[in-house]
Amino acid sequence: MISLLPCLLLAGISFSAAGLDSARADVAFADTYARYQLPGMAVGIIEDGKVVYSRTAGETVAGSGENINADTLFKIASNSKAMTAGVLARLVDAGKLKWNDPVTKYLPQFRMHDPWVTQQMQVRGLLIHNSGLGLGAGDLMLWPEPNHFTRKDIIAGLAHLKPTHSFRSHYAYDNLLYVVAGEVAAAAAGEPYEVLVKRELFQPLGMNRCQVGEWTRAKVGNVAQPHMRTPAGNRVIRQDGDVVPNITSMAAGGIRCSLNDMLTWVGMWLAPDRQPAWLSAEQRKAVWTPHMPMPVTQRMREWDNSHFSAYGYGWRLSDVDGEWKVAHTGSLAGMYSSVILLPDRKVGIVILTNGEGDEARVVLGQVLAKHYTAPEQSVSVAHYAESLAREKAAEKEKRAIADTSARKAAKLDEFQRWLGRYKDPWFGEVSLCAESGKIRFHAPRSPMLTGTVIQVGSRWLVDWDEVSVDAEPWLDFVAVESSQPVRLKLSHVDPDADFSYDYADLDFTRVGDCR
């Protein structure tokens, strides 16, 4: 077993000018935690194989008195993608697959919308977000959780998702193909994905707290729960039951790890010469090679003087202040994570939160990275927080968000002609039916998508019952001829809603009356 996590250095030790100023890190940690009113946060930094900073705050469940520590489990969300890519790279090293193998070699049932793309899709293509699918296409088969979609459903559903761009021509972040990648790994190795991750990753690296597949919450213990911020404070959402299920999204974003485990993971990547090697030098290079160009945003230019941005296998690659940066983020409802590596400095930063920590991870990660890449700037959390606020305000001015304040329950007599059951080729059946004087929307395969139809002017939207499902859709009906079935399309009320609510990919046809 490779032991990568050394004892923590004592707090307050001074480091070299090139290293961390722990006092500044403490200030940034405290400022972030307070500014964003987080229920809990865990932050760690590794330099040259040594953990030089580890700090936690808050509770696993707000108000519970159970404090977060460096062994608390967090959902790492899309930071799972690098682990999936790493497992595939291990299989390449073992001669069990090749990056340029066709996906159909391992999954004969795999189909994309275009038969030619099906034939041309390689294993590597599952990892680099250039399939031609739109941003987050088909994500409603993964989230909101829990739902009843399986990995077989996802593979079958891909054929019905129409591309928005030519194959390999455009970067658009994707989750479904990482689920497929997990199934390719399983087929190549002859073991379920969750067994592979434990055997190829957790066990050899000593990441003993990480969890994947089905597990028992009480037996594992010390598990952070997701929260949303309300006027009354942080509130738990989508709380784990006694048994955490083997979720469909594992390979794309379903792994949980502690801060200590994530520092072990980061430490392995920052120590390419450590023996025994977890990956060959060839596969390390493959994983961190730019395979798909990504846009360099205005923020990257202004904050980091960045000149390039690209996607590797499960990692984002860019430059910051003239230095190489390898990073990724993870986002789920009430759980946000960030991993930032500066490989030439052998520096790694890990940020985990169990609240609405999107902006928190951005500003804290930026301040901590600048300790290394531009220490003379002495930037603060407030500096970046205010910059984000200005950016959001400018974006809001550009986008017209409909005013839905004059909403009222839809009237049955006005909605009568649209009642019924509707079916989409990949999402399945939904119903719009009268219940106790209201018109209710139900998605049997995704039970959290249940709500009441509301009228706003001449339009209808769905007000979801579950408050954490925070992206309301417009309902737009199309009835061309009386002989043709009614079609139903959904679209975002708020254009800034999370892209994983991929309403635009849905195309429902009325299939029958309410039962």
Rounded to the nearest 10 degrees, the angle between the axes of helix 80-93 and helix 176-189 is 30
Dihedral (CA of 152, 468, 354, 349) sign:
positive
210-244 burial by CB neighbour count: b if 16+ within 10 A, else e?
bbbbebebeeeeebbbbbbeeeeebbbbbebeeeb
Question: What are the tens digits of pLDDT across the range 46-61?
Answer: 999 999 999 999 999 9
Per-residue pLDDT, 206: 98
Asked if residue 230 and residue 144 are part of one domain, the reply reads yes
In this predicted structure, the answer to whether residue 10 has a pLDDT above a threshold of 90 is: no
- Do the domain assignments include residue 362? no
- Per DSSP, the three-state class of 350 is strand
Asked if residue 208 and residue 90 are part of one domain, the reply reads yes
What value does the mean pLDDT take over residues 204-213? 98
- Is beta strand 438-442 parallel, antiparallel or unpaired with respect to 40-47? unpaired
Give phi and psi for 371, each to the nearest 5.
-55, -30
Asked if residue 223 and residue 106 are part of one domain, the reply reads yes
d(CA 136, CA 499): 6
Asked if residue 206 and residue 88 are part of one domain, the reply reads yes
Question: What are the tens digits of pLDDT across the range 415-430?
Answer: 999 999 999 999 999 9
In this predicted structure, the answer to whether residue 158 has a pLDDT above a threshold of 60 is: yes
Per-residue pLDDT, 378: 85
- Do the domain assignments include residue 438? yes
pLDDT band at 401 (very low <50, low <70, confident <90, very high): confident
In this predicted structure, the answer to whether residue 3 has a pLDDT above a threshold of 60 is: no
Question: What are the tens digits of pLDDT across the range 189-198?
Answer: 999 999 999 9
d(CA 479, CA 477): 7
Question: What are the tens digits of pLDDT across the range 78-103?
Answer: 999 999 999 999 999 999 999 999 99
Domain region containing 475: 408-512
Give phi and psi for 175, each to the nearest 5.
-110, -40
In this predicted structure, the answer to whether residue 327 has a pLDDT above a threshold of 60 is: yes
Residue 301 backbone zone (phi > 0: left; psi -120 to 50: alpha; other: beta): alpha
Asked if residue 414 and residue 306 are part of one domain, the reply reads no
- Per DSSP, the three-state class of 258 is coil
Q: Taking all residues of the chain, what is their mean pLDDT, rounded to a whole number?
A: 94
Record the pTM. 0.94
pLDDT > 90 in the chain, percent: 91
pLDDT band at 2 (very low <50, low <70, confident <90, very high): very low
Per-residue pLDDT, 398: 80
Per-residue pLDDT, 397: 79
- Do the domain assignments include residue 307? yes
Which residue, 182, 158, 338, is CA-closest to 250?
182
- Do the domain assignments include residue 350? no
- DSSP state for residue 164 in the 8-state scheme: S
In this predicted structure, the answer to whether residue 257 has a pLDDT above a threshold of 70 is: yes
- Do the domain assignments include residue 370? no
Please tell me the chain's helix, strand, coil percentages from 3-state DSSP, rounded to the nearest 5: 30, 25, 45
Domain boundary (305, 340, 375) is at 340
- Do the domain assignments include residue 24? no
User: What number of H helices and E strands is found in the chain?
Assistant: 15, 23
Burial status of residue 63 (CB atoms within 10 A of its CB: 0-12, 13-18, 19 or more): exposed
Per-residue pLDDT, 14: 29
What value does the mean pLDDT take over residues 390-398? 87
Our CA angle for 12, 383, 360, nearest 5°, is 70
What value does the mean pLDDT take over residues 132-140? 98
Dihedral (CA of 331, 335, 336, 341) sign:
negative
- What radius of gyration do the chain's Cα atoms show? 23
Question: What are the tens digits of pLDDT across the range 94-135?
Answer: 999 999 999 999 999 999 999 999 999 999 999 999 999 999
Output 5-12 pairs: Cβ under 8 A, ≥24 positions apart: 5/51, 5/206, 5/260, 5/263, 5/264, 5/267, 6/49, 6/50, 6/51, 7/51, 8/51, 8/54, 9/50, 9/51, 9/52
d(CA 116, CA 123): 15
Asked if residue 217 and residue 99 are part of one domain, the reply reads yes
Q: Any idea what the CATH number is for the domain that residue 114 is in?
A: 3.40.710.10
d(CA 222, CA 305): 40
Q: How many domains does the chain have?
A: 2
> Could you tell me if 62 and 39 are in contact, meaning their C-beta atoms sit under 8 angstroms apart?
yes
Residues 6+ apart with CB under 8 A from 10: none
Asked if residue 102 and residue 233 are part of one domain, the reply reads yes
Asked if residue 436 and residue 335 are part of one domain, the reply reads no
> Which two three-digit tokens encode residue 515?
């039962």
- How many residues does this entry show for the chain? 515
Asked if residue 421 and residue 294 are part of one domain, the reply reads no
Per-residue pLDDT, 15: 31
Question: What are the tens digits of pLDDT across the range 444-488?
Answer: 999 999 999 999 999 999 999 999 999 999 999 998 777 789 999
Asked if residue 191 and residue 295 are part of one domain, the reply reads yes
> Could you tell me if 465 and 450 are in contact, meaning their C-beta atoms sit under 8 angstroms apart?
yes
What value does the mean pLDDT take over residues 239-252? 97
- Do the domain assignments include residue 62? yes
- Per DSSP, the three-state class of 362 is helix
Asked if residue 220 and residue 107 are part of one domain, the reply reads yes
Domain boundary (307, 340, 373) is at 340
- Do the domain assignments include residue 11? no
> Which two three-digit tokens encode residue 28?
């940034």
Burial status of residue 497 (CB atoms within 10 A of its CB: 0-12, 13-18, 19 or more): middle
Asked if residue 290 and residue 426 are part of one domain, the reply reads no
Which residue, 125, 128, 127, is CA-closest to 310?
128
In this predicted structure, the answer to whether residue 19 has a pLDDT above a threshold of 70 is: yes
